[in-house]
């Protein structure tokens, strides 16, 4: 387990949802809705939300699978899982989501267990991307599908410059006011190291996914990798 990354998310847990709403001007909700739609989740399915954090994607999956389905949210940050649990308890009826503290690189599930999966802003944060894709491939049923949302480096240099400007001059200073400068300053370098959409497609094919597509969204500043087993 990567304790350093886990500590970052534990520290920002109290402000995580509020900052995402403000900093994306609410747009992250649209990106997450697209992700769940592209995961192919349907009523009655058993679904996995990897790196679930405070649960945004898991809650959406729960609405798609309905009362006959089941959702599992997995994350290694106890503080973000606690936020997710409190949010779930505030809903009526409480959604059928099992919150599990676990490592995306070593999932506590049998092979071929899930019909569909999502992962939001998790892939860029895991220590070993191929291993994480391999684990996702293992736990999905044959024919199962998953959608992976994350930041993306735009090909257009002006849009890339805007993205960097926004991260350095809006995101970091606003986070600094809440005492989390270093934690949010981490996003930009982590994006520099992150494989491009096409590189992600290659990595997913290497672990055995058959049909793989990367969809650029938000002017290529974000992307959704859709994988089929």
Ligand X SMILES: C/C(=C\Cc1cc(O)c2ccccc2c1O)CCC[C@H](C)CCC[C@H](C)CCCC(C)C
Which residues of the chain form contacts with ligand X (CB under 6 A)? 8, 12, 20, 23-25, 27-28, 121, 124-125, 163, 166-167, 171, 183-184, 186-187, 221
Q: Is 150 in the site for ligand SAM (CB under 6 A)?
A: no
Based on the number of CB atoms within 10 Å of its own CB, is 145 exposed (0-12), middle (13-18) or buried (19 or more)? buried
CA distance 125 to 89: 28
Q: Which of 69, 120, 195, 197 binds ligand SAM (CB under 6 A)?
A: 120
User: Smallest distance from the beta carbon of 53 to ligand SAM, in angstroms?
Assistant: 2
User: Smallest distance from the beta carbon of 181 to ligand X, in angstroms?
Assistant: 11
Q: Which CB, 91 or 211, lies closer to ligand SAM?
A: 91
Contact 229, 212 (CB under 8 A): no
Binding partner selected for residue 12 from ligand X, ligand SAM, none, CB under the kind-specific 5 to 8 Å limit = ligand X
CB neighbour list of residue 171: distance below 8 Å, 6 or more residues apart: 23, 184, 187
Q: Enter the tokens of residue 202.
A: 């290659």
Q: Which CB, 140 or 187, lies closer to ligand X?
A: 187
What is the phi/psi pair of residue 114, to 5°? -110, 145
Q: Is 45 in the site for ligand SAM (CB under 6 A)?
A: no
Contact 47, 72 (CB under 8 A): yes
Binding partner selected for residue 80 from ligand X, ligand SAM, none, CB under the kind-specific 5 to 8 Å limit = ligand SAM
CA distance 13 to 229: 33
Q: Is 125 in the site for ligand SAM (CB under 6 A)?
A: yes
Binding partner selected for residue 215 from ligand X, ligand SAM, none, CB under the kind-specific 5 to 8 Å limit = none
β-strands 114-120, 70-75 pairing: unpaired
CA distance 25 to 82: 25
Closest to 11 measured CA to CA, from 175, 121, 196: 175
User: Smallest distance from the beta carbon of 175 to ligand SAM, in angstroms?
Assistant: 13
Q: Which CB, 125 or 200, lies closer to ligand SAM?
A: 125
Residues forming the site for ligand SAM (CB under 6 A): 2, 5-6, 9, 51-53, 56-57, 75-77, 80, 103-105, 120-122, 125-126
């Amino acid at each position: 387990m990567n304790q350093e990354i886990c500590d970052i998310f534990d520290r920002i847990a109290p402000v995580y949802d509020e900052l995402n709403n403000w900093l994306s001007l609410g747009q992250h909700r649209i990106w997450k809705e697209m992700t769940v739609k592209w995961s192919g989740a349907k009523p009655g399915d058993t679904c996995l939300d990897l790196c679930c954090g405070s649960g945004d994607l898991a809650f959406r999956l729960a609405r798609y699978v309905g009362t006959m389905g089941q959702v599992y949210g997995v994350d290694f940050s106890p503080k973000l899982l606690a936020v997710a649990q409190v949010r779930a308890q505030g809903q009526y009826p409480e959604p059928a989501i099992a919150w599990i503290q676990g490592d995306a690189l070593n999932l506590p599930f049998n092979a071929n267990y899930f019909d569909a999966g999502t992962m939001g802003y998790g892939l860029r944060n895991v220590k070993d991307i191929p291993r994480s894709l391999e684990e996702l491939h293992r736990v999905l049923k044959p024919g199962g599908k998953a959608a992976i949302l994350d930041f993306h480096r735009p090909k257009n240099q002006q849009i890339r410059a805007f993205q960097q400007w926004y991260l350095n001059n809006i995101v970091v200073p606003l986070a600094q006011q809440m005492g989390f400068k270093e934690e949010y300053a981490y996003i930009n370098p982590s994006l520099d190291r992150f494989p491009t959409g096409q590189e992600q497609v290659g990595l997913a094919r290497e672990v055995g996914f058959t049909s793989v597509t990367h969809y650029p969204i938000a002017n290529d500043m974000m992307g959704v990798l859709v994988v089929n087993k």
